[in-house]
Amino acid sequence: MSKNNTPTIQVKLRQLDDVVAWFQGDEFELELAAGKLQEARKLAADIEHDLDKVENEITIIKKSFASDAD
């Protein structure tokens, strides 16, 4: 985890993989599927948000390098 106790993208991806594996595993229970699906949707949204932040940071850094080269 990062310094502020927020899970990293890699940790969230592993968590999402675990949820997906649950659907394919022997522990699958139809009664729990809706909750697991919600968990997967939240993780996917969090991952997408985190990746957008990283992309924006990279774009800012690239612009900084481009302006330094001018």
pLDDT of residue 67: 82
The radius of gyration computed from the CA coordinates of the chain, to the nearest angstrom, equals 18
- Reported as a single tens digit per residue, the pLDDT across 11-69 is 999 999 999 999 999 999 999 999 999 999 999 999 999 999 999 999 999 998 888 77
Question: 3-state class of 59 per DSSP?
Answer: helix
- pTM assigned to the model: 0.80
Domain residue spans in the chain? 9-69
